[in-house]
Structures are given as structure tokens and as C-alpha cells.
Amino acid sequence: MHIQKIIISLLFLALLGYKSQAQVTDLCARTLVGLGQDSITWSGSSCSSFGGYVIYGKHSSSSNFIVLDTTNQLNFVHNNPSEVLWTYQIGLLCGNTVSQLSIAVDNQRPVTPDLKSVSIVGGKPVLSWDSSPSPEVIGYQVYKENPYGSGNYFPYPSSGSIVYGNSFKDSTASDLLVRYAIVAVSPCSKSLLGEGKQDGTTGPHTSIVLAGSVDKCAQTLNLSWNSYENWREGLSSYVLWVGRNGQTPVPVDTIASNQTSFAYTNLQDDDILEIYLLAMEKNKVNSAKTNTIYVRTEVNRPMDYLYISGITVAEEDKVDIFWTWDTDVDFSGAELKRGSNIGNLATRLNISTIVSTTNGFRDSDVIPSQQKYIYKMEATDACDSVVVSNHASTILLEGEAKEEFVNTISWNAFDIGYGTVDAYQVYKIIDGQAALIATLDSSELEYTDELNIRNQAEANNCYYVIAQATLDFPNGQKPSIESLSNKVCITQSSLIRVPNAFVPSGKNNRFRPVVAFSRSISDYQMTIFDRYGAVQYETETFNDSWDGTNNGQALPQGVYVYVIKFTQPNGEPLEKRGTVLLIR
């Protein structure tokens, strides 16, 4: 009993398996254009009690299938005089039961779906599309234009190579700029595919090839690409994606659909950028990706700042000029310019290399005691962009000896770009020692020094001025600086006073002149004459005096004539004539 059940079960399973293999496949229905007929073909397998194939049909205006015929053949011709839409379905008649219905197929060409995109992924073109709504479609044939731009399309990679999916990667593509189309394949068309077939819905799509080049001087990455073609809704925009130095690319800008070039400006020197574009279909979510380019942004490094940071008159009629500048720069050269008029400066120094941030130069080809000097700097980078510094000028100090033993000094205002004068300090040099004699407000440009005539050293005085200033540079630095003027020396004229009488036996017993600041006179000579013109006394020593004698003999009381000559400290000769009464 047990064995019988097993045998019955095996027979049932075998029969079930045989029955499950009975089916109708590869149904093809197409209109024979011009003949008013539809040709229907299919493949089928038999079943137990096979009674043939039942052909069902549905007119476009009908809502239900009707039986058109039953046949033992694998083909059927249905009259369709108007060549209008008919939909067909084949059933397998097994005994008295129709089973294993095929899919429903109409007599129209199967719908080729829109291409969603042609993108470049992993360095190869990749096509993608949605599934065809036509149920008879078994796959898709890819067509490739060859050569690009010719309009000639060929089955790719070969005729009859059907893609059973919704994407295709052109793994053998040697050129990224390619154009593709697809055709939906059904049992009706799989053996008819050949040269010239194209996508009948939206037209062929072209990959987008992105190229870029760095403009070192403009500091831009100039991108260019070909336009994306033939989306049904059209192109909405391009989105630029950028990844910097290994970071994941992110969208950084949206570019109008009619543009095929773009200048990306957010560049930093020596960055490595990963860049691609996404073309976006209008009113849809479809996007097509370009190839990815990697760019090392070796851009020009301009000089970000250049400041003259100090100027001062140095010893021995020299001018020291100081500056600070950006050293992270593609440096071409620089010029230190000098002149007396800011609108007419000439090159004083050419600089071909840049080493230090802070720099200085001593200009020996100047006479700062005779004129004011103005300096500027101009630096040029590798792209011929010029950066001009602020200006700076020396302080020209001038002095004058005036009457009543007064020296007056004056100077021009200290002038340096980005600078504000806080105060002026006046120094006086006597016998080689400098002493601060006044601190003045920034608006005061003159000083009067009253001399002490009892101090013979004050016949010759030298002065200089120090400007104290604060700089306020645009980069935030605020250094305090000092600028020295030239040194000016003033010599006072000697003032002579001669007594008109003396008493050899009295208190004022000798005759000689009194000269203010006498230490600095030279070529001194004093001669005494009697009223007849005879020389009674003569000396060339300033400290000598006449005691009223001649050769040791006392001269009589009376009026005598004196002539005093000497050279003043300023080099001018002086002669004083007069009379003196000798009293006994």
C-alpha cells in the first residue's frame, strides 16, 4: 500500500512537471504594412490532450478579448484592413481547458523608453533607461554613432547583442565623447536589428566630456564641456561638484543650461581638486554625470602686502629705508623708487630676489641736509601684477642764527603712508653731547633756542629732530617708529664791545675788547696808534691787552686810535675802529 502511494505521487509530480513546461512564448504580432494583415507568430510546447493554440484578439475599441481562431500551427494571419491597433494573446488548449496564456502583445512597434542618461562612471560611458511599457519587450539593442558626429549608427557592440536590463557600460570605449541610442527588442524585431536604428522617442544622447585648465594669473579654473542632448523635457541646468584635497565632492554652483563653460574662482595654490558636472533634466530627477577631472591648482601667488615701515636720516648724510612684504609670492622683481616729488620718482634700487619679510637699504647717494627725499616701492609678481607700497619722506631740518643770540630751526612734517605723527623731539648737540631740549606737538614744526652768551660753547650749536609716529597697516600691524632728521649746525656771529677809556693805575688798568663767543674767532689783530699815526702797540693774540706803554715806557695821557680785526665764526671778517682815552 505504501509503495502504491509513492508510485502515484511520483506519477503526479512527473505529470505536473510536464504540464508546467507547456507554455506559449516569443509572441510576435506585427502589422504587414500595405497588406492589411497582422502576422502573429509564437513558440509553444505541447501538453497532454493537446488541442491546439487559441488566438485571442482585442480591437482597440474593445474592452475584452475575443476568440479569433484555433490552430495547430505556430503562426496566424489576421485580417486588419485598416491596419489599426489590435492586441493579441495566445492560449494553450489542453483537453477542454485553455491554459498557459501568453502575454498580451499589440501589433505596433514596441515602445522604446526614454534614455535616462549617458554618464561617465569609472572612466567609461554608462547608459541607463527605464523599462519599456510594452510587455513583449525582451531586451534592448544599443546603437553607437561611429564616428562621432557622422550621424551613422551601428548596433553595438554587434548586431543582435541584446541587453537584458536597464543599463549598459561601454567597457571598451576608447573615447569618452560618444553618442548612443537604444531600441526596444521584442520577438518580432530581435532578428531584424541592424544598421541605422535609433532611439525613436527622444533621440540619441551624448556623453558630456569635461575639460579644465588653470589660468595661473587669473587664478581661475576654466572649465568647458559639450552640451547634453535630447532629454524629452529639456535641460534644466548643470551643477558643479568640487572636492578639495581628498574631501568628498559637494555641489558648489549651479550653471545655466545654455552655458558650456565656467570659470571656477575659489582656488588656493597647490590644492588638488576633484571636479565633475551633473546635467539635470528639466522637471525630472534624471541627471547625467561628466567624467571626473583632477586638477592641481598651481596658481600665481600675488604679493598680499608691501609696506614701507620706516625711514630715517643716518650718519654721514645717508638715508636708511625699511620695508616689510609678503614672501609667499611668485616674485618677479621689485624697485625702490626715490625722488623729491611724489609724482616723479625714479628707480634707485632693483631687487631680483626675495628672502626676508623685513628688509632695509642704506641709500648713500643722497644729501638729506639739502633736500627732502621721498621713497616708494613697487613689486611685480610672475603675472606682471604690480603692488605699490605706501610712501615715506625724510625730514629736512633747516636753521638760522638770528639777532640777540637766538637760533631758530624749522622742518617739514614727517610724512609716511599709514602713519600718524605723535610728537617731535628736538635735540641739541653741544661739544659732541646730544641733549633733549624740547618735545613738541605734532602740529609744531619750528623751535627757537635762546643761547647763553656766557657759555662760549654755544657759539656753535647743532640740532636734529626725531619724529615719533605710529603706523596703522591694513593687515592689522601697528608698529611705533622714529624718524631722524638731518643734522643742522648754526654758528652765531661774534659781538664785540670796546671800552672808551682805561686808567693804567686804576681798577680798569688794561685795554682790550670784549667779544661774545670769542672762542670761535680767528685771524685776530689789534693795533694802537697815537694821534700822529704812529703804532704804539700791536698784538695778534686775543687774550693780550694794552697797559698804556710802548717798549716799557709809559705813554702820556691822551686819546689813542685802535683798529681791531678778526674773522668771525661764520667766516666773515670784522674790523672795528675807534678811540680810547688813556687817563693818568
Burial of 118 (0-12, 13-18, 19+ CB in 10 A): buried
Q: How confident is the model at residue 584 (pLDDT cuts 50, 70, 90)?
A: confident
Same domain, 202 and 214: no
Same domain, 378 and 422: no
Which positions ≥6 away from 143 have C-beta within 8 Å? 153, 154, 155, 156, 180, 181, 182, 183, 197, 198, 199, 204
Angle at 417 between CA 413 and CA 418, to 5 degrees: 110
Same domain, 17 and 87: yes
Residue-wise pLDDT tens digits, 225-272 = 999 999 988 999 999 999 999 999 999 999 999 999 999 998 988 999
Q: In the predicted model, is pLDDT for residue 9 greater than 60?
A: no
Which of residues 86, 106, 126 is at a domain's end?
106
Structural domains in the chain (count): 6
Sign for the pseudo-dihedral over CA of 146, 149, 152, 157: positive
Q: In the predicted model, is pLDDT for residue 353 greater than 90?
A: yes
The CA distance from 345 to 390, in Å, is 13
Assign residue 553 the CATH number of its domain. Answer: 2.60.40.1220
Task: Express as a percent the part of the chain with pLDDT over 90.
Answer: 71
The CA distance from 461 to 568, in Å, is 15
The CA distance from 252 to 239, in Å, is 8
Same domain, 46 and 72: yes
The CA distance from 64 to 89, in Å, is 11
Average pLDDT in the 368-375 region? 97
Q: In the predicted model, is pLDDT for residue 6 greater than 60?
A: no
Which positions ≥6 away from 295 have C-beta within 8 Å? 212, 214, 221, 272, 273, 275
For residue 206, list its beta bridge partners.
Answer: 179
Q: In sequence order, what E strands does 442-520 have?
A: 446-450, 460-471, 480-484, 488-491, 495-497, 501-502, 514-516
Which of residues 297, 322, 339 is at a domain's end?
297
Residue-wise pLDDT tens digits, 435-458 = 999 999 999 999 999 988 777 777
Same domain, 6 and 101: yes
Torsions phi, psi for 2 (to 5 deg): -65, -40
**Cut 0.85: pTM above it:** no
Q: Name the residue range of residue 481's domain.
A: 397-491
Average pLDDT in the 366-394 region? 97
Which of residues 180, 206, 232 is at a domain's end?
206
Residue-wise pLDDT tens digits, 299-315 = 999 999 999 999 999 98
The CA distance from 23 to 149, in Å, is 46
Largest CA distance in the chain: 192
Residue owning grid cell 567597457: 171
For residue 529, list its beta bridge partners.
Answer: 535, 561
The CA distance from 166 to 184, in Å, is 11
Q: In the predicted model, is pLDDT for residue 12 greater than 50?
A: no
